Structure 1
Amino acid sequence: MLQKMENSLKQRLPVLALFILLVLHSLAAEAEIYKWVDENGKVHFSDKKQPDKTQEAIELDIQPTSWKRFDIRIKTHDVTLTAKQREQIEKGVNYVYAFFDDVLYFDLYKTVPVSIDIYASESAYRQGLIEQGNPNAIRSFGMFFPKTNAILVYQRKPFDQFLRTIKHEVSHAILDSLAATIIVPSWVNEGIAEQMENIDVRDGRLVIQRDARNAAKVAYHASNGSLMGLKRFLSLPGDGWLAQHRAGNSLYPQSSQFVYFLLSTSPDRRFLTDLLHYYKRGGRKLSAYVTDDMAIGGIEGLQIRWNLWLKDQRPSELKF
């Protein structure tokens, strides 16, 4: 038995030695690592120089990874961007990425290659839509195409509005990489994208500003009783959601504010996260059918909290 234990230990020594090296490196990234062998032939590692021992300095060969969290390819069409504008776009994109990674707990372990095609005018942009195979697109400031992983936008002033559009479409691109957007409910897809328009970083924390225009529209419909109830809202399929929006039901503002509401408290943020992970795993049920299992109090409890929040629980910003 003792011999087996000794043999097992000898087999594990290289692994243990590597583990020690990694631990020492993490504790003293800038320090030297030393190795020496004692009189019994046992190998030791330390980050301290010991004059009474014959030590050998070890250089850790740690290769930098070539993997990037987000592969951003900006293509301009008769548009000139300043270095500062390019930097702002890249920062904005990475804020969106950080939200999915740090707030919604998606392990985004693969690079998502996205090309952002920026056109000089709306007419040039619409021609780009036609070339992407969408000649009948409704009027928009930007659009994401899942088949080609392409985002098309056109430059407009002020720049911050233009940047909002890019971040909105990048949200669609990331979500599509996690779960096909044909599966994810439209209210989730559009609601999160609306939040990403207003995402920023302050004092090292992600911050989302409440969208004042969407808040005002939802408050108006809530006050006159025309705001769609959650049971119906959560039951809409993708084509039904778009049809209701075109019919004048203001589903973009409602989706925006409903997602903002869910993000404002830990229990309901957990519901949103669980719902997204359900679709990432391949779930296909309408959100109304899984809400009773995921949300505290089911749809009825969620409706009560939503009604209260609409009255007096709307913070001007969310910090994560």
Structure 2
Amino acid sequence: MFSRLLVVLSGDGQADQVLLRRAAALRQADTRLCLWRPVRSPLGGLDYRFLTPELRQQVRHRSLATARAGLDELTAVLRAEGWPVNYTLTWLEKDAAALLHDTVCQQQASLILMRRDPGTLSSDLRHFLRLEQQACLWLVDTDNSLPPQRLIAALDTGAHAAGCVPAERLARHAATLAMRLSIPLELLTVVPQLGWLGEFGDLTHAQDDVLATHSQRLQVLRGLAAEQGSGVPPEAHLCEGDAGPALVTWMNDLQRAGYNRVMLMMGCGQLAGGLSSFWRSTIPEKVMARVSGDLCILPTPAADADDSLAAAGLSQAE
């Protein structure tokens, strides 16, 4: 499905193995694997800067040597299993987002697998999400070593100048991913609450028309997902509310019902401009901060990009 996988390793052996098992689930004959291991000073930024140049060099050399030895051992095992694999080792003193973006471009990655910590959003990850990334990002909840059992695709069925092209693209990718992982797919769209229209008189018909329009678009997306996937239309749900809180509530309700291995797939939210971008969060950021589990974020294609798997920089093998 994805021809070039970039796995971001942390040096935590158990968590890194969970990432590699997720990658193995997507493996095909021509899938290439790139491992990226960012290494930070074990002393911390402040203490590290106050070391003498000689001691700083020794700390850096020892840290990189230890990480390189681990990567050499890991790549040897993966190559013995038939993986075409290479690795990149990077010393970090600042934010990792820019270097991650550069690595993605250099490796022409079609999918990034990264570790995520449930309930938190690191500054590196936040900054990377706000760059113009071109690859699909799979954030793996490494606290749960088992793979997802269900995929929820959050679609935007709102009006667009060219129809629902982003939602159609996401539905196709979600169907392909669900089929490759052999898990059921569900489609979900969130419609803003319209009860306040009653303040302007009896506008029940207008509310019904809006809900009917979104329902019709959702049914079209079910058909597209069925064509791209197993041929069986997935379940589809429509709920009302603000997108961020509604998705958080939906995922938390699933987890309370005992579905703890659910993967959410959504598009990359639009960023606010100007000074407001410093305090306003996108919908994926809001969801990540409040929901555990695996999360897959599909980048927004360029305005003139053809809506195909190859043009999106994804699924180059299919």
TM-score by length of 1: 0.27
Q: Which structure shows the higher helix fraction? A: 1
Higher-strand-fraction structure: 2
Question: What is the TM-score of this pair, normalised by structure 2?
Answer: 0.27
Higher relative CO (Cα under 8 Å, sequence separation at least 6) belongs to 2
